[in-house]
Amino acid sequence: MDFTNKHTVRVTSYLLFLLAATQALYTLLRMADIDFPRQLFWGTESILFTFLMAFAGAAMVRAKHYHVGWSAIAFSAALNLVQVSVGLTMFTPFREATTQNESLGPLAGAVVALSFMIYYAAKLLLGFAALIFGIAKMQDGAKPLGGVTAVVGVVAMLANGILIVLGRNAFLPSAVAGGFGVLATLLLAFCLMNAARED
């Protein structure tokens, strides 16, 4: 099975769109305090991230331009896969161990902190990719879409960078950084969809 560069870009944009949708839905369900199967959500995201690594990586080596942008997308997918895997495999065992032995609390907290650190790094990379492809769209004439994408990308980079440097208990709520990361992902998907149509 062979994929043209156009198909690779298109599939990458679809995967980014699906991931933005699942993360937005996950956030809304948590905010509404609605019980839902995290295994189903995170398991689905793991599959999407795995394919995103493959397609963004393929686009990176085949592209004539913006290799750093494609690299940012591919490595953000790799980081997100690690982050989701930590949540799926370690959160529950450590939580259960903490209920039996409270002295394990700091260790469980460290696992959660590690997961968030990886999460912020992935969102920072997606913000960087949004900045790169947003500027590219502006240069191609799509200034409204490109401009908004680039600005949101910068905000996502700054917000997640702050939490990496100062920690997740800094003055900036984690949900704000994550929210801008998701929005940057969505706008990035639209930029790539637009590029695939114009190719």
The per-residue pLDDT for 67 is: 94
The per-residue pLDDT for 142 is: 82
- Write phi, then psi, for 158 (nearest 5 degrees): -65, -45
The per-residue pLDDT for 199 is: 54
Rg (CA), the chain: 17
- Token digits for 163? 């939490």
Q: What is the dihedral of CA 163, 169, 171, 173, to 10 degrees?
A: 80
**8-32: average pLDDT:** 91
- pLDDT tens string 36-80: 788 888 999 999 999 999 999 999 998 888 999 999 999 999 999
- pLDDT tens string 116-170: 999 999 999 999 999 999 999 999 888 899 999 999 999 999 999 999 999 888 8
Contact indicator for 59, 70 with CB cutoff of 8 Å: yes
- Tell me: pLDDT of 197 over 70: no
The per-residue pLDDT for 4 is: 85
Confidence of residue 108 (pLDDT cuts 50, 70, 90): confident
The per-residue pLDDT for 71 is: 97
C-alpha angle 30-36-42 in degrees, rounded to nearest 5? 85
User: Which helix (H) or strand (E) segment is 44 a member of?
Assistant: helix 38-62
Confidence of residue 106 (pLDDT cuts 50, 70, 90): confident
**113 vs 171 pLDDT, higher one:** 113
User: Which helix (H) or strand (E) segment is 2 a member of?
Assistant: none
- Tell me: pLDDT of 111 over 70: yes
